[in-house]
Structure formats: structure tokens, C-alpha cells
Amino acid sequence: MNEKSNHLSYRRDIDGLRALAVSSVVIFHAAPGRLPSGFIGVDIFFVISGYLISSIILNGIKSGQFTFSSFYVRRIKRIFPALITILCCSLFSGYLLFTDEELSELGRHVAAGSAFVSNFLLLSESGYFDTAAEYKTLLHLWSLSVEEQFYLIWPLLLWAAAIFRVTHAKVIVTVFVLSLCLCIYFVNWNSAIAFYSPFTRFWELSLGGTLAAFGGETNVSAGFRVSRSIISMLAGAVLFIGFLTIKRGDPFPGWTAMLPTIGAAMLIWAGPRAYVNRVVLGHSAAVWVGLISFPIYLWHWPLLAFPRILEGTEIAQWKRFVAVGVSVPLAWVTYRFIEKPLRTSNGKWVVPALVLTIVLVGITGLTSSVSGGMGWRTWAPRVENIGGIGTGEFFEYVGTHFFPCSPPDLLAESKDGSGFLRCPQSKPDSRLDIAVVGDSHAESLFPGIAEKFSASNVVWFGNGGGLPFISNDEYAKIFKYISEDKNIRFVVIAAAWTRKIKLSEMQKFHKELLSTSMFLKASGKKVILVDDVPTFSFAPMRCKFSGRLGLPNRCEEFVGPTNTVYQAELRDISKSGTLASFISVRNAFCDLVACSMAHDGRLLFRDEHHLTIAGSRRAAERFPQGLMPHEIGAAQ
């Protein structure tokens, strides 16, 4: 929102702050390794929006000129033109290039985006644990939906406060505190809710509203007698610390989000004459980027997501930079020839036309979703191998076919906020027979092993991304529990050995694995060491479909002999047969020539290196029935 209205004077520095916010988000999406904290730019946007919207509403109420109709007319003119452009371009491109399944998903997200409920849709899809976020074309619209939901509630709340003679400051501070408390609670209990729910995000917008309620920059010099420039420099330091310390994977938003939001609030509070605001944020280049920040934000993500979907894997770094580069001129064209003319137009037809258009776009998206992707398109890519891509289908199967593990402390520690069962066992009773231990690669083996040895109670224990060694603190409690449980007779140890072990660390790897096997053997356990599945250089999209951009179906790839290096260590420890046994699940997917992602028309991998349920079952075929007796209970 670039307001130059009678209600709020224009501030160049706020457009400069927008430039900082959008730049950090774009860099994070294009090159996350270069700015791992770049996603906090969204939180900066929230504070800016909260300040500007609250200022407009409060000024209008104070002057007696506020009306809901004028407020929403301005919002529609500001947001709808660019959003409609992106939704139409995305839907049309998907119509030409996507498979039926992909177009159906895109249509669902177009409908959600046009109704400003993308955050709720993503929450229902469980975010990270559904199809990889990188493949969701309109993932970024979640933040716009949160803002629009705020715009629906906020004017009514502030208007009601004025009617009932409740000070706006009290209302805004109350919303801030309640929302922040909810956010802190959910970030530790269910991170998806904390991230996507408007009620756990409103505190960031109401923080900006607090600035508006207390007079913005006016009180900084008059009330506190502190130099605006010092405050702006302190604010810059706070933001710098946020960009330096916050990273993907941290509990977020929660307390961590205080750094970017407080930093942004301090910059707004300092005012346009403060040194950082005037010299850095008020620079013409920053202001120019800020003016087109909204269409940049809308354009950049689909330009990154579409190539990923079409190529079936992460695109090369140079392609990501090209996509981001293309988003800037597209954003300028959108701003100059679509957004600005419609926003400044006084024509009575503008708002009805925009509302009607976005409704039609939403209906078209919904039709695409309900119809299963407009199956009449003869040019659409074809499905060659069935199976779900991403982890949603896998975790849904585990959650509906298995039970929470019986050790209460290990079950409690396994809860990662995803809502999925991350410590499953195959039977409801507390007696455990077979323990599968390791990272997500071991977790992928669990369903197949559990179904093959169906008379036994099989459990998967895992914790963090480390290797399953007795010396690893992440697994200390797990191995202690296993050693003390006399009912557990078999322990399967598996991990992403190929991805986590360096050739220079083989001696250490041998020592750690040997000590772990000896510890379990001393506890009376039978140890089974399992090698790793192959890692492909392309995503299973390439294997699932044919005809994508005219490309043939691809499922096979020669995967180098890296596995054989650590396999020698696994075989060495298990060669006598007294300390451990060795099983190669890699051979379920590879021969001497190549490895394959599919078998008999079914996908075996849900990403480059994690198994589907079908893949897990195929891997379990490598376990001889006699290795772990089918009726394990009878042998006791």
C-alpha cells in the first residue's frame, strides 16, 4: 500500500523498508543458503501494513470521515489488480503445461488465493509435510491472506471501540498481547498453526497499530527526548541481529519474531528524518523497489515454482537468479500499467469489475480443482507410475495404519509440531519386539518391515538428523530404553549413510557403529545393519509423468558407487554373524547398471531419496523371513 491520501502523509522511508522486506524474502527463496533468515521480511511487511492501515482507520475515525465502504474500496483497488494478474497468468500457464493432478492442485490454490484463505488451505495440507513447499505455485499468498483477514476484523474492532468509548490503545494492546500469547503457545505445540493462523500473526500487525495509536514518530523526540537517528541506528542493529541469527528450522514465529518486528517498528517510530530512514531507506533506489514491492512479491515465487514443477527437481542456481531478475521488470509493468491506473481511477466501474473478475478467477480455479484438472486437455502430460509425491501420503498412511509408540517420554519427544505420528508402532499393546532406529531413511523402512513381520510389534525410534550411534546425545535415551526393554530382541539400524558420511570419516564411522553394535549385543539384542537407498539427481515428477515439455518418462539413473564405501564397513562389522547381520536394501532398487524409482507402474520414491509406502514394502522384501522370526513372541 503506497498511500498518498488525505488520511496519511506519504513516507519515502516506509517504501524503503518495504524494499528491504521484499529483497530479503526474494533472496531467501532464490538462494536460501546466502540469506537463511530472509523469510523474516514477511514479518517486516506485517508491521508496516499494521501501522499504515491502523493510521488510516484511526485518522478517519478521529476526523469523523471513516466509512467501511471507502476503506474497502481502497483495499480492493490496491490489492486486486496485481493479484488478479498473477492468478490469471498462473492458471493459464498451468492450463497449458501442467498435468491434470497439478492443474487440479493449482486450481485449488487459485480459488483459495482469490478468496484470501490460502493460509487455511496450506494449514489443512500441513505445509512442510505435504508436497514440498517449493512445488506449490501460490505458496506465498498465505501472507496476503493473513493481511486481508486482518483488514476484515481490524476496522470493525476499532470502529466498535470508538462507539463504546473504549480507548483504541487498550484495544490494540489487548489484541497484541493475546495474539502473541497464542503464537508462543502454538509455536511449541503445533508449528503449522503458529505459522499460518491469522490469530497467531495478528500481534505483528497490531504492533504496527500500536505505533499508530500512540502517535507514531511524534512522541519519539517530544516525549522521550531521544534522537531519531540513534533510534533508527538501534533499529538497524536489531534487524541486523535478526538477519544474522534467525534461520530456517528455528521455532517461528514466537519470541524469535520479536527481532524483525521490533526492529521494523523502531524504524517506523524514528520517523522519516532519522538518519537511517533518510539516507538509506529514503534513497531513490530503495524507494523505487518499495513502490513495486507488492508485484515483485507476487511474481517472484511462481517464476521459481513453475520451473521446479516442470523439471521435476530443484532448478540450477543461475536459473533461480534469472527468474528473480525477470520478476522485477514484470513487477514494474504490472505496477505501471495495471495496478497504478486502476488504483488512481475514479471510474465507478473499477471496483465492481475487479470484484467480478476475482470471483470468476476463483470459480475457474475451483472448477479446475473439482474437475480433476480439466482432463479434456489432450496435450497434458500423462501419468506413467502411480504414487504420491511429497511426504503427505506417506505420513497419512502411517497415521491411519499404525499406533503411537508406547514409551510415553519417547512419544512426547517425537512430537515436532507437524501433527503427524513420528514415533509409530505396529500394534496397540505396550510390548515391543522389533525396534527400527535411525533418521528419516529408517522411518521410511518402518511400514514395510511392520507389514512383513505382522505378528510382531515393530516400532520406529528416531530423533533429529544425526546418525544413530550410542555416542550421539540425540539417541542416548532411545538406546538406553531399548537396552532396558527385555522384550525387544531385534534392532534394525538404518540411516542416510550416503548423505551424511564423508569418505574422510570412515574410520570414525566404523568405530561408532562398532561400539553401538557391541552395546546392543551386550544387552541381548540381535542387531541388523541396513545400507542406504540410492539418492537420485532428479525428483520423482520425472518418473511419474511422461510428455512434460515434450520430455520422455525418466525413472532410471546410474548412481555411483559411494554406497560401497560405507557398505564395506557395515559388512565388516557383520561378517562374523555374531555381532550383527547385514541387509542391503539398495539392491531392491538397483542392479549393476542403474537404479530405478519405479517398479510395476508404482513410484518407489516420494522425493529424491525417501521411499513411498510401495518402496518401503519393496525394501522389506530384502529381509529374510528367518532373520526375524515371524512369530517372534512364540520364540520367547
Output the average pLDDT for the chain: 90
Q: Which of 339, 370, 401 is the last residue of a domain?
A: 370
What pLDDT is recorded for position 3? 40
Asked whether the predicted pLDDT for residue 631 surpasses 70, the reply is no
The amino acid at residue 519 is F
What pLDDT is recorded for position 309? 85
Quick check: bond before 253 cis, omega within 30? Answer: yes
176-190 pLDDT, tens per residue? 999 999 999 999 888
Non-local CB neighbours of 340 within 8 Å, separated by 6+ positions: none
Query: Which range is least confidently modeled, 99-103, 150-154, 477-481, 576-580?
Result: 576-580
pTM: 0.73
313-344 pLDDT, tens per residue? 678 899 999 999 999 999 999 999 999 999 99
Is 573 part of a structural domain of the chain? yes
The amino acid at residue 261 is T
Mean pLDDT on 82-107: 95
Handedness of CA 454, 459, 464, 470 (dihedral sign): negative
* DSSP assignment letter at 279: I
Spatial distance between the Cα atoms of 606 and 602, rounded to a whole number of angstroms = 11
The amino acid at residue 405 is C
What pLDDT is recorded for position 563? 54
End-to-end CA distance of the chain: 71
Asked whether the predicted pLDDT for residue 38 surpasses 70, the reply is yes
Phi, psi of 223 (to 5 degrees): -85, -40
Asked whether the predicted pLDDT for residue 11 surpasses 50, the reply is yes
Domain match, 121 and 224 both: yes
All 3 cell numbers of residue 40? 523474516
354-412 pLDDT, tens per residue? 999 999 999 999 999 999 998 888 888 888 999 888 777 899 899 999 999 999 999 98
269-314 pLDDT, tens per residue? 999 999 999 999 999 999 999 999 999 999 999 999 999 888 766 7
Q: Which of 335, 370, 405 is the last residue of a domain?
A: 370
Spatial distance between the Cα atoms of 221 and 81, rounded to a whole number of angstroms = 39
Stronger pLDDT, 568 or 531, i.e. the higher one: 531
Residue 629: band (very low, low, confident or very high) from pLDDT cuts 50, 70, 90: low
- Asked if 195 contacts 252 with a C-beta cutoff of 8 angstroms, the reply is yes
Domain match, 401 and 352 both: no
Residue 578: band (very low, low, confident or very high) from pLDDT cuts 50, 70, 90: confident
Mean pLDDT on 204-223: 75
**DSSP per-residue letters across 136-179:** -TTTTHHHHHHHHHHHHHHHHHHHHHHHTT--HHHHHHHHHHHH
Mean pLDDT on 16-42: 96
Asked whether the predicted pLDDT for residue 627 surpasses 90, the reply is no
Asked whether the predicted pLDDT for residue 220 surpasses 70, the reply is no
What pLDDT is recorded for position 355? 98
Is 231 part of a structural domain of the chain? yes
Is 33 part of a structural domain of the chain? yes
> Which three-class secondary structure state does DSSP give residue 526?
strand
Domain match, 321 and 431 both: no
Asked whether the predicted pLDDT for residue 635 surpasses 70, the reply is no
What pLDDT is recorded for position 464? 67
Stronger pLDDT, 627 or 542, i.e. the higher one: 542
All 3 cell numbers of residue 338? 495495471
Query: Which range is least confidently modeled, 150-154, 332-336, 632-636?
Result: 632-636
Q: For the chain, how many structural domains are there in total?
A: 2
Asked whether the predicted pLDDT for residue 2 surpasses 50, the reply is no
CB-facing half-sphere around the CA of 402: CA atoms within 13 A? 30
The amino acid at residue 222 is A
Q: How far is CA 29 from CA 110, 257, 321, in A?
A: 20, 19, 10
Closest CA to 566 of 624, 494, 616: 494
Domain match, 422 and 316 both: no
Is 376 part of a structural domain of the chain? no
Mean pLDDT on 554-577: 80
445-493 pLDDT, tens per residue? 999 999 999 999 999 999 767 899 999 998 999 999 999 999 999 999 9
Domain match, 553 and 608 both: yes
Is 634 part of a structural domain of the chain? no
Domain match, 441 and 299 both: no
Determine the length of the chain: 636
The amino acid at residue 466 is G
Asked whether the predicted pLDDT for residue 127 surpasses 50, the reply is no
Residue 136: band (very low, low, confident or very high) from pLDDT cuts 50, 70, 90: very high
What pLDDT is recorded for position 334? 98
All 3 cell numbers of residue 114? 482469490
Asked whether the predicted pLDDT for residue 218 surpasses 70, the reply is no
CATH number at residue 530: 3.40.50.1110
Domain match, 366 and 445 both: no
* Helix, strand, coil content of the chain in percent (nearest 5): 60, 5, 30
**How does strand 526-530 pair with strand 556-557?**
unpaired
- Asked if 256 contacts 250 with a C-beta cutoff of 8 angstroms, the reply is yes
Domain match, 288 and 162 both: yes
Kindly state the helix (H) or strand (E) to which residue 460 belongs, with its residue range. Answer: strand 458-461
Q: Exposed, middle or buried, 408 (CB in 10 Å: 0-12/13-18/19+)?
A: exposed
Residue appearing with cell numbers 568405530: 511
Is 472 part of a structural domain of the chain? yes
- Asked if 506 contacts 566 with a C-beta cutoff of 8 angstroms, the reply is yes
Domain match, 174 and 27 both: yes
Domain match, 425 and 467 both: yes
Closest CA to 406 of 485, 491, 494: 485
Spatial distance between the Cα atoms of 78 and 73, rounded to a whole number of angstroms = 9
Asked whether the predicted pLDDT for residue 517 surpasses 80, the reply is yes
Is 187 part of a structural domain of the chain? yes
Closest CA to 513 of 563, 579, 578: 579
Domain match, 324 and 432 both: no
Residue 416: band (very low, low, confident or very high) from pLDDT cuts 50, 70, 90: low
What angle, rounded to 10 degrees, do the helices at 506-522 and 562-574 form?
A: 30
All 3 cell numbers of residue 28? 531467501
**How does strand 595-596 pair with strand 556-557?**
antiparallel
Taking the C-alpha atoms of 280, 283, 288 and 291 in order, what is their torsion angle to the nearest 10 degrees? 60
Please, what is the Cα angle at 76 between 71 and 81, to 5 degrees?
Answer: 155
Domain match, 342 and 398 both: no
Mean pLDDT on 156-179: 95
**DSSP per-residue letters across 101-119:** HHHHHHHHHHHHHHTT-HH
Closest CA to 267 of 247, 256, 282: 282
Please, what is the Cα angle at 41 between 182 and 155, to 5 degrees?
Answer: 55
Phi, psi of 90 (to 5 degrees): -65, -45
Residue 223: band (very low, low, confident or very high) from pLDDT cuts 50, 70, 90: very low
Asked whether the predicted pLDDT for residue 349 surpasses 60, the reply is yes
Is 377 part of a structural domain of the chain? no
Question: Whole domain around residue 347: which residue ranges?
Answer: 12-370
List of E strands, 331-426? 382-383, 403-404, 424-425
